[in-house]
Structure 1
Amino acid sequence: MPTPSDMTTDPQSDTSELPGLLDHLQHEVAVFARRAEQTRLGGVGQVRNSMDRAAYLLLNRLDSEGPMGVKALAASMGIDSSTVTRQVAPLVESGLVKRTSHPDDGRAVVLQLSPRGQSRLDEVRASRRELMAQLTEDWAPREREEFCTLLTRFNAALSARHGSGTE
């Protein structure tokens, strides 16, 4: 297991330490994935663990990109249309997402965040934001920014590797 000083070594300057660093990185990613799934990083208080990852990502995408069809939503998230259809069904049933007819093609369905869905998403976001604040409360602002930048870059590399969209 590398020591903290090993983790700051520039991999370009000394490739002999790279395998140990990569072993440490893959282990930490595995631990993070397990802990994130255990808690679903669901926030704090009553909202904690109240929205699963798929629902959160779908609602977030509809909020950021606006109403869209199933195929467009699936493509933007890098998942299959049948998966989106299956994941959206309970969101429609619970009133978080509305299905409407496409204005140009009445046969096509458009998915849209409902006012209730927007309110619920805002509540979950606030709870998760508070959790992130608590988890990083002793970090310097620069460390938070750097972690966010690196995690975004890591996720983008994973998406590119698997040919999927960004969540």
Structure 2
Amino acid sequence: MPTHPDMTTELNSDLHSNQPPVPAADVTGPAVLEAMQHQVAVFARRAEQTRLGGVGQARNSMDRAAYLLLNRLDLEGPMGVKALAAGMGIDSSTVTRQVAPLVDSGLVKRTSHPEDGRAVVLQLSPRGASRLEQVRSSRRELMEMLTDGWSEEERTVFCALLTRFNVALYGVQNAGGITPAS
């Protein structure tokens, strides 16, 4: 099996060009799975180190948990803690803990359920929607910068494959193969 450059070490000059690293393109069979698991680990490290938080003033201004919670509330509308937790594949106590500072900072508001006044739903506040759009814009700019030189087709294919990978990972997690993290 060929040795692949360890992307966790100092970057070499080939990686600063618009050319992809050659060894990765030549990997097939079981070696591709080895390279893939390594690159996913490197990606996880780099994503956590940089927090993929965008560029400019909004860079790293919102942690991953807050971003994902606000994003889900924006895309799916008001919902209860249990529904939010189920949709994100985490437990209710984790959502409750993560939502508390968002409520305290005015990004999320607690309101009465429209059909059952006793139940509470979480809703993105106007301030939360504005803040989320700032962060999204910053993150879009980062994605544009990271994929500078990629064709639209390459961006689309990468996004489709990454989405497919995330959906498969979620499926394995929900089947009990992976224990969810808090």
Structure 1 equivalent of residue 17 of structure 2:
none
Structure 2 equivalent of residue 81 of structure 1:
92
TM-score (norm. length: structure 1): 0.89
SS in 2 for 1:38: helix
SS in 2 for 1:98: strand
CA drift of 1:4 comes to 3.7
**Identity of matched residues, %:** 74
SS in 1 for 2:114: coil
In structure 2, how many angstroms separate the alpha carbons of the residues matched to 1:58 and 1:135? 24
Q: Would you identify which runs of 4 or more consecutive aligned residues in structure 1 move more than 4 Å?
A: none
Structure 2 equivalent of residue 45 of structure 1:
56
Choose the corresponding residue for 1:136, options 147, 165, 168.
147
In structure 1, how many angstroms separate the alpha carbons of the residues matched to 2:48 and 2:138? 17
Choose the corresponding residue for 2:119, options 80, 103, 108.
108
In structure 2, how many angstroms separate the alpha carbons of the residues matched to 1:73 and 1:5? 39
TM-score (norm. length: structure 2): 0.82
| Count of matched residue pairs | 156
SS in 2 for 1:71: helix
1:6 maps to a residue whose letter is D
CA drift of 1:46 comes to 1.1
SS in 1 for 2:110: strand
- Relative to structure 1, the CA distance from residue 133 to residue 104 in structure 2 (aligned partners, 3 Å threshold; closer, same or farther) is same
Choose the corresponding residue for 2:164, options 153, 156, 163.
153
Structure that is richer in helix per residue: 1
Q: Deviations over 1:47-79 (max 9, x none)?
A: 110000000000000000000111111111111
1:32 maps to a residue whose letter is F
SS in 2 for 1:133: helix
* Conserved 8 A contact 2:24-2:35: no
In structure 2, how many angstroms separate the alpha carbons of the residues matched to 1:102 and 1:147? 39
CA drift of 1:89 comes to 0.1
In structure 2, how many angstroms separate the alpha carbons of the residues matched to 1:153 and 1:92? 32
SS in 1 for 2:93: helix
SS in 2 for 1:68: coil
In structure 1, how many angstroms separate the alpha carbons of the residues matched to 2:77 and 2:116? 18
Structure 2 equivalent of residue 6 of structure 1:
26
In structure 2, how many angstroms separate the alpha carbons of the residues matched to 1:62 and 1:148? 22
Q: Deviations over 1:18-64 (max 9, x none)?
A: 22111111111100000001111000011110000000000000000
CA drift of 1:104 comes to 2.4
Structure 1 equivalent of residue 12 of structure 2:
none
In structure 1, how many angstroms separate the alpha carbons of the residues matched to 2:82 and 2:25? 47
Unaligned stretches of 5+ residues in structure 2:
5-22, 176-182
Structure 1 equivalent of residue 74 of structure 2:
63
Two-structure CA RMSD over aligned residues (Å): 1.5
